[in-house]
Structure 1
């Protein structure tokens, strides 16, 4: 029984993992991802252990969802950058083969370099799509993320910073409260509209 369940699970994973059909995911992206996941292969146990890396548990309006997904796209861009750098760094085995000067070692090094170039090409295809989507649809979210990072750099222990921050608090507090009131009024107006339509015969 357990073996049958695992077989179904593996089949479902293989079908869903490599193919996403939608308006924005192209055939090139699907094919490229399929080849990348063949290289970055992990076991079923590893894939399900600890859950998803990116958990989209946010419930809210479109702006909140776009803020989260904009941050996810930026993180993917950084992640793929790290993966590309790792491919540029020779493994100890490759380095030893190169330094050893043997013909077999040189052949292995060349083959490894060629395989890495192939994976780098695939990663760059995915990176191209991510950057295009961020630039076209998530430009404002990128600016917001930069502002949030700037907030994290504030020197909390600096006396001058503390004084300036206190002097700026009240207008910011008023703006935050006003924005919250506007959002609450919009929600109430939408609720009344829905209620009015539902009561109509």
Structure 2
């Protein structure tokens, strides 16, 4: 969710990137906490998760495009810049969102526990790992320092918190032959919701830092 500003970044692209992250996060927030209510409509809420994953992916691609094209570089739609921490963060984040597209779609299907492990839990875990890698590289860009007076700095730390809670949710969401206790399910849902709130906040901060 980190916004790396530079002269080649258009105000409109950053605006839409932030809005799309907020839309996707809102879907995850709604589904996660609504699932905690009595008698949730599981089919509808799983569909909302999938719908929310789509703007996440488009926004993450804008983020990758933003990190790919830096000042004094030829503008490219696709490039490989392994020495650029922001680029690695953007790439791993985008790949993570693609895996979330897969797992949220498969969660809308009727699967047995083994299919659920392979098609839902596995891409969820891999996507969460990629999100953590992305967050690590963003923290590396700021030398792992916390500055309460810098909104961009705070947004990077909030993003890491969101990635950690997504990982906790993924771990607790494993499929087993026997259903997990309700406490595990609730733990996963709450952490997904908290992570989505973190990403929403980071995207909102991005709206306050639009390029001129």
Could you say which TM-score interval applies, normalised by the shorter chain?
under 0.3
Structure with more relative contact order (C-alpha pairs < 8 Å, separation 6 or more): 2
Q: Given the two structures, how large is their TM-score scaled by the length of structure 2?
A: 0.25
Give the structure with the larger helix fraction: 1
